[in-house]
Amino acid sequence: MIYNLYIFDRHCVCIFYIDWHRHRKSGGIMGSNNAGTTSTTTSMNGQPDGGDSGGSSSSPAHSAAANNHLASHHSTTSQLTSATSMFSDSRLVNIEEEAKLVYGVVRTLRNLVNKLSGNQDGFISYRTSNYKLHYYETQTGLKFVINTDPSTDSLRPVLRQIYTNFFVEYVVKNPLAPVGHPGGEGVNNEYFKAAVDKFVKNLPVFDS
Amino acid sequence: MSVLPAAISPFFTALAAGDDASSTTSTALTAGGSSKPILVNESCLEFLMMEMVDLMYRTTADSENDKESVYYKLEVLGYQVGQSLVERFTRDRPRFGDTLDVVKFICKDLWTIIFKKQIDNLKTNHRGVYVLQDNNFRWFLRMSTEGGGAEATKKAVPYLWFPCGLIRGALANLGVVSVVIAETTVLPQCTFQIKIAKS
pLDDT of residue B7: 52
Task: State yes or no: pLDDT of A132 exceeds 90.
Answer: yes
Compare all CA atoms of chain B with the CA of A167 and give the residue at the minimum distance: B142
**A59 inside domain:** no
- Under an 8 A CB cutoff, do A175 and B43 touch? no
Beta-carbon contacts of A198 under 8 Å, excluding residues fewer than 6 positions away, are none
Least confident of A51-65, A120-134, A135-149: A51-65
Q: Specify the range with the lowest mean pLDDT, choosing from A46-50, A201-205, B47-51.
A: A46-50
Asked whether the beta carbons of residue A174 and residue B47 sit closer than 8 angstroms, the reply is no
- What's the rounded Cα separation, in Å, for the pair B150 and A56? 15
Peptide bond into B188 cis (omega under 30): yes
Q: What percent of chain A has pLDDT over 70?
A: 65
Percentages of chain A per state (helix, strand, coil), in multiples of 5: 30, 15, 55
- Angstrom distance (rounded) from CA A201 to CA B68: 45
Alpha-carbon span B132 to B111, nearest angstrom: 11
| Cβ neighbours of B147 in A, within 8 Å | 53, 56
CB A81 within 8 Å of CB A49: yes
Task: Give a yes or no: residue A184 inside a domain.
Answer: yes
| ipTM given for this complex | 0.71
Question: Among partner residues B142, B156, B159, which is closest to A191 by beta-carbon distance?
Answer: B142
Nearest Cα residue in chain B from A192 = B144
Residue B132: per-residue pLDDT? 92
pTM: 0.69
CB contact under 8 A, B147 and A56: yes
Q: Model confidence at B15, in pLDDT bands (50, 70, 90)?
A: low
The DSSP letter of residue A122 is -
CATH superfamily of B43-196: Trafficking protein particle complex subunit 3 (3.30.1380.20)
Outline where chain A has alpha helix (H).
60-65, 95-117, 156-161, 190-201
b/e code A23-48 from CB counts within 10 Å (16+ = b): bbeeeeeeeeeeebbbbbbbbbbbee
pLDDT at B150 over 60: yes
- B139 and A175 within 8 Å at the Cβ level: the answer is yes
* Mean of the per-residue pLDDT values of chain A: 71
Residue A134 near residue A110 (C-beta atoms within 8 A): no
Q: Per mean pLDDT, which of A179-183, B130-134, B187-191 is the most reliable? A: B130-134
Judge whether A71 lies within some domain. Answer: no
Q: What angle do CA A160, A166, A168 make, to 5 degrees?
A: 85
**Chains A–B, number of C-beta pairs less than 8 Å apart:** 50
Residue A62 has pLDDT above 90, yes or no: no
pLDDT at B14: 56
Q: By mean pLDDT, which of A22-26, A45-49, A108-112, A113-117 is the weakest?
A: A45-49
Please give the residue that has the higher pLDDT: either A44 or B110: B110
- Contact across the interface for B144 and A174, Cβ inside 8 Å: yes
| pLDDT of the residue at A43 | 41
Highest mean pLDDT among A17-26, A37-46, B163-172: B163-172
| Cβ separation A190–B139 shorter than 8 A | no
Distance from CA of residue B199 to its chain's centroid?
A: 25
Model confidence over B80-118: pLDDT tens digits?
A: 999 999 998 888 888 888 888 889 888 888 899 888 889
Asked if pLDDT for residue B180 goes beyond 80, the answer is yes
What residues make up the domain containing A155?
2-47+79-207
Residue A174 neighbours by CB under 8 Å, 6+ apart:
A186, A189, A191, A192, B142, B143, B144
- Cα distance between residue A76 and residue A79, in whole Å: 9
pLDDT at B96: 85
Q: How confident is the model at residue B193 (pLDDT cuts 50, 70, 90)?
A: very high
| Percentage with pLDDT > 90 across chain B | 25
Does any domain span residue A169? yes
Q: How many structural domains is chain A composed of?
A: 1
pLDDT by residue (tens digit) across B17-27? Answer: 543 333 333 33
Asked, for residue A16, whether it belongs to a domain, the answer is: yes
Which pLDDT score is estimated for A60? 38
Distance from the B119 Cα atom to the nearest Cα atom in chain A, whole angstroms: 22
Q: Is residue A40 part of a domain?
A: yes
Of residues A80 and B73, the one with the higher pLDDT is B73
The answer to whether the Cβ–Cβ distance between A190 and B145 falls below 8 Å is yes
Q: Distance between CA A106 and CA A159 in Å, rounded?
A: 15
Q: Select the more confidently predicted residue: B11 or B110.
A: B110
Q: What amino acid occupies position A201?
A: K
What's the CATH number where A173 sits? 3.30.450.70
Hey, are the CB atoms on A175 and B149 less than 8 Å from each other? no
The model's confidence at residue A19, banded by pLDDT at 50, 70 and 90, is confident
- More confident call, A3 vs B21: A3
Is the pLDDT at B54 greater than 80, yes or no? yes
Report the residue from A53, A54, A176 with minimal CB separation from B152: A176
Mean pLDDT of all residues belonging to chain B: 80
Residue A134 inside a domain? The answer is yes
- Residues of chain B with Cβ-Cβ distance to A53 below 8 Å are 146-147
- Domain map (residue ranges) of chain B: 43-196
A44 vs B contacts (CB less than 8 Å): none
- Flag if B152 and A190 touch (Cβ within 8 Å): yes
Cα–Cα separations (whole angstroms), residue A16 to A29, A62, A93, B86: 29, 15, 18, 44
Residues of chain B found within 8 Å of residue A190, distances taken between Cβ atoms: 144-146, 148-149, 152
* Cβ A18 vs Cβ A5: under 8 Å: yes
Residue to substitute from A171, A172, A176, A192, interface B, most B β-carbons within 10 A: A176
Residue A72 within a domain: no
Task: Give every CB contact of residue B165 below 8 A, 6+ residues apart in sequence.
Answer: B74, B75, B76, B77, B78, B79, B80, B81, B82, B180
| Under 8 Å between Cβ of A71 and A31 | yes
Closest chain A residue to B155, measured at CA: A176
Cα separation, A67 vs A63, in Å, equals 7
Quick: pLDDT tens for A156-179: 999 999 999 999 988 988 888 888
